[in-house]
């Protein structure tokens, strides 16, 4: 089927009506017949007026995680590269056609990725670190996935969080000797692929300045090396890519430059001016969109952006960046396009169409009717794919939601309303859903709100300082120097997943389920004792996800069946939906933790997810401040901590893996966030005895700038990612930060299948001992072991324990 985006000639094709009906049937407007779907489609997709609508980007995994399974099958050697390419091409075609059928005018391409869009940019630029042995030519899967995941002989590149999201990107490693060369033609190939399907797309590239600002000096390169000094070399490759896209027929190009929303120094802002001035001749004849997202754009950055040479259009996040509206009203360049991101790309609540339309109408008077484009606030990569696949959500909650597929329809509905073709029935149904959510009794619990409000009068600190607590804990636990532990989860086997799935589907009894999970816990405990690990975990076999597991047992949460969101590579998470006030009806983990402790005389950690991580890894209600929701969750976790202590669990880990992730991008907002986030953590464990050891865990973020807030959490022990980022964390302690609590910087990267040798781990421990006291240092992996196989976990942990013993013996001499 050929699709003419401008005229939407496919509207009368039965396939188009079916796709449109699918999109609408899951939206806030119920359809009663194919005829009604056709009528609604005619209203929203009328070809008589130009539809100024745009999508920044779209989820890659597929509605049923098709890409995940294709990738993992390929990595396991069960399918070929051609099989993987076929699944991927089908997904891309489906996404492009879906947007075209929905009436989107500016459809993105090159937002698909086999692993990560920043890694794709690295491949395009040929910036492959020498350790991967790439010798030139078009970069293939072997080199690409080695950079992403490592291989048997070399480690992966560093992975860290993409701004303040739960998505992870692969950090480029650059230096003065990198020979940039056009080594991946993915952008132009995907543009041509879409064009062959009849869809004229807007190719999307990670902007050159953002690419450099997100990079790091390669190993051996001075930390003071100016990455922006590489701009001329990088731009030379960008010019080749642009020339290819022009030759292929592209009329628009989108550069994603989200670093513009950060607090940038003047020389970094100047780099944007220099970069686009240098690209201007190559961009001649093209429409150029520079897209920003995730926050307000600072006034100086706004001035820089709207003065860039050769740029036709500017994209802004007007959901998280509401203050940007004032900058636009204060002066928007004449004749330029405004891509107004009014539909939230990072949450799953249905758009308040009336409010968004009012915002757009106000902007129309500033930029002109023909220069205003309705868009998403960011890529839809950060939201779930399609609400139509959610068959178990109740109708009331479902009416409040919009996933990526529904957001496409919302964007188009707003664009049509703006052009004078408003679908009154669609808007009325949306208004009814908004009113339903505000008035629903299931949203509000007055007792919970009062308890959370009462928290504000106290600092919630444990009465004794951490040094005295550690002494009391050591007397009780009797741990060796450099105690070993793991972060929590152990491999989730196919059999284990089958047991959980069958229990959920009522195919096995509760007795059979408890027996199977108990046996798995026993095996994990026995394995850890055989490995001679000091502080054990139960392996979390009963848990599907570290947030969803708790959300399922708390009030105020709803859950999806297919609401998956990419975290990194093939790893997807299924965030719960927090729709109402949160409380804990009954204990959540005490049974399993007590059972695990009964299998061993060694300390067994009770494993909990902290309130800030539950918040940041959920789709959060947007009708009250995030801090209020966090305090409610903190009270629920506090109850659980105290019940675990009563049950005889002497070590309790409260993971705050996502605390750094929620840090606002603008410095002026960070102190307030850290204040309530750290306070919420302290609330969870303020009531325990000195002899109860509280651990927390953090992973894959840049922690150095919040180290004092981490200390202020007042945990007894913190385990933290360290190995994949080249021990970046240790630099904080080299610079004189004093840390008196226990700390376990990760000694090996669990996100790679590579098994580190004992000597390598011992070397890492020695580096830690150069800046940390031996009596506070713990030895542990970077993160949980859920995604690994036992064939990788057993030898890796064997080597880890051997390394700890080796260093203990050296220290004893």
Taking the CA of residue 616 as centre, how many other CA atoms within 13 Å lie in the half-sphere pointing to its CB?
Answer: 24
User: What's the rounded Cα separation, in Å, for the pair 168 and 567?
Assistant: 6
Query: Phi/psi of residue 95, each to 5°?
Result: -65, -45
Q: Cα dihedral sign for 226, 313, 326, 427?
A: negative
* Helix segments in 599-701, DSSP class H: 611-616, 626-646, 670-685
| Sign, CA torsion 257/53/437/560 | negative
What the block records as the tokens of 210 is 């953002």
Strand partners, 743: 718, 777
The C-alpha angle with vertex 167 and arms to 166 and 170, in degrees rounded to 5, equals 135
- Alpha carbon 719 to its chain centroid, in Å, reads 21
Nearest-angstrom CA–CA distance, 111 and 31: 32
Q: What whole-number distance in Å separates Cα of residue 617 and Cα of residue 545? A: 11
333: which 2 tokens?
């360049």
Residue whose entry in the numeric block shows the structure tokens 């040479």: 309
Phi, psi of 739 (to 5 degrees): -130, 120
Closest to 61 measured CA to CA, from 375, 378, 403? 403
Q: CA-CA distance, 531 to 795, in Å (whole number)? A: 10
Neighbours of 30 (CB within 10 A): 12
HSE, side-chain direction, 13 A CA sphere, residue 292:
25
Provide the 8-state DSSP code for 106.
B
> Considering only CA atoms, which of 677, 687, 686, 640 is closest in space to residue 657?
677
Write down how long the chain is: 813
Sign of the four-CA dihedral 74, 77, 81, 87:
negative
Q: Which of 54, 168, 695, 751 is catalytic?
A: 751
CA-CA distance, 72 to 84, in Å (whole number)?
10
267 catalytic residue (yes or no): no
- Say if CB 752 and CB 158 are below 8 A apart: no
Strands 565-568 and 571-573: antiparallel
SS3 335: coil
Q: Is the separation of the CB atoms in 385 and 61 below 8 Å? A: yes
Q: Which long-range contacts (CB under 8 A, 24 or more apart) does 702-705 make?
A: 702/160, 702/660, 702/728, 703/660, 703/729, 703/732, 704/728, 704/729, 704/731, 704/732
C-alpha–C-alpha distance, residues 291 and 204, integer Å? 10
Closest CA to 651 of 695, 707, 621, 696: 695
Element (H, E) at 729: none
Q: How many other C-beta atoms can be found within 10 angstroms of the C-beta atom of residue 813?
A: 4
Residues belonging to the active site: 751
């Amino acid at each position: 089927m050929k699709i003419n985006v401008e005229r939407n000639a496919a509207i009368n094709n039965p396939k188009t009506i079916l796709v449109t009906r699918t999109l609408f049937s899951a939206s806030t407007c119920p359809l009663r017949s194919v005829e009604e779907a056709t009528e609604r489609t005619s209203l929203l997709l009328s070809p008589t007026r130009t539809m100024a609508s745009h999508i920044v980007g779209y989820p890659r995994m597929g509605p049923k995680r098709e890409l995940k399974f294709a990738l993992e099958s390929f990595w396991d050697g069960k399918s070929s590269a051609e099989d993987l390419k076929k699944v991927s091409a089908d997904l891309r075609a489906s996404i492009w056609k879906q947007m075209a059928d929905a009436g989107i005018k500016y459809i993105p391409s090159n937002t698909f990725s086999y692993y990560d869009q920043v890694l794709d940019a690295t491949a395009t630029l040929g910036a492959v670190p020498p350790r991967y042995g790439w010798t030139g030519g078009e970069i293939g899967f072997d080199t690409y996935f080695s950079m992403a995941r490592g291989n048997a002989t070399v480690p992966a590149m560093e992975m860290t969080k993409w701004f303040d999201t739960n998505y992870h990107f692969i950090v480029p490693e650059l230096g003065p000797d990198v020979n940039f060369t056009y080594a991946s033609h993915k952008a132009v190939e995907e543009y041509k692929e879409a064009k062959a399907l009849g869809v004229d797309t807007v190719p999307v590239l990670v902007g050159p300045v953002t690419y450099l600002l997100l990079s790091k000096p390669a190993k051996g390169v001075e930390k003071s090396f100016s990455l922006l000094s590489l701009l001329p070399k990088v731009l030379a490759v960008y010019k080749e890519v642009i020339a290819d896209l022009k030759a292929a027929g592209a009329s628009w190009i989108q550069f994603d430059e989200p670093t513009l929303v950060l607090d940038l120094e003047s020389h970094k802002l100047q780099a944007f001016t220099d970069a686009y001035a240098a690209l201007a001749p190559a961009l001649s004849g093209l429409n150029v969109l520079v897209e920003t997202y995730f926050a307000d754009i600072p006034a100086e950055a706004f001035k820089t952006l709207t003065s860039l040479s050769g740029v036709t259009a500017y994209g802004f996040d007007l959901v998280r960046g509401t203050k940007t509206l004032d900058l636009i009203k204060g002066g928007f360049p004449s004749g330029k396009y405004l891509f107004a991101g009014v539909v939230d790309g990072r949450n799953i609540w249905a758009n308040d169409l009336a409010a968004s339309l009012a915002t757009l109408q106000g902007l129309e008077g500033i930029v002109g009717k023909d220069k205003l484009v309705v868009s998403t606030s960011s890529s839809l990569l950060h939201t779930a794919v399609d609400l139509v696949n959610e068959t178990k959500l109740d109708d009331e909650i479902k009416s409040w939601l919009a996933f990526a597929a529904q957001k496409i329809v919302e964007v188009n509905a707003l664009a049509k309303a703006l052009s004078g073709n408003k679908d009154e029935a669609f808007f009325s149904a949306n208004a009814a859903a908004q009113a339903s959510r505000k008035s629903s009794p299931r949203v509000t619990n007055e007792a919970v709100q009062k308890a959370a409000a009462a928290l504000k009068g106290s600092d919630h600190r444990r009465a004794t300082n951490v040094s005295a607590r550690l002494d009391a804990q050591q007397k009780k636990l009797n741990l060796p120097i450099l105690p070993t532990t793991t972060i929590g989860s152990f491999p989730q086997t196919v059999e284990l997943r089958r047991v959980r799935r069958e229990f959920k589907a009522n195919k096995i009894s509760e007795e059979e389920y408890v027996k199977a999970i108990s046996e798995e816990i026993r095996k994990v405990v026995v394995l850890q004792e055989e490995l001679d690990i000091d502080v054990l975990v139960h392996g979390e076999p009963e848990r599907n996800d570290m947030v969803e597991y708790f959300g399922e047992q708390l009030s105020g949460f709803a859950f999806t069946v297919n609401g998956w969101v990419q975290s990194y590579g093939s790893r997807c998470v299924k965030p719960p939906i927090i729709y109402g006030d949160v409380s804990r009806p009954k204990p959540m983990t005490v049974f399993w933790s007590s059972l695990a402790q009964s299998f061993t005389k060694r300390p067994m950690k009770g494993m909990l997810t902290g309130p800030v991580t539950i918040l940041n890894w959920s789709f959060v209600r947007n009708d009250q401040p995030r801090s209020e929701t966090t305090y409610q969750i903190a009270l629920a976790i506090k109850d659980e901590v105290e019940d675990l202590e009563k049950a005889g669990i002497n070590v309790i880990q409260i993971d705050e893996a996502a605390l750094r992730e929620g840090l606002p991008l603008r410095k002026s907002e960070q102190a307030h966030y850290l204040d309530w986030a750290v306070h919420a953590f302290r609330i969870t464990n303020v009531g325990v005895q000195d002899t109860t050891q509280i651990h927390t865990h953090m992973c894959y973020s840049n922690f150095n700038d919040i180290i004092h807030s981490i200390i202020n959490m007042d945990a007894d022990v913190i385990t933290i990612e360290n190995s994949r980022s080249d021990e970046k964390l240790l630099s904080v302690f080299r610079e004189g930060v004093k840390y008196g609590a226990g700390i376990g910087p990760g000694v090996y990267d669990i996100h790679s299948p590579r098994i580190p040798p004992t000597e390598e781990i011992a070397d890492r421990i020695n580096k830690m001992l150069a800046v940390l006291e031996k009596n506070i240092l713990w030895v542990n992996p970077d993160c949980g072991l859920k995604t690994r196989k036992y064939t990788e976990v057993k030898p890796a942990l064997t080597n880890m324990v051997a390394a700890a013993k080796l260093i203990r013996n050296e220290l004893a001499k």
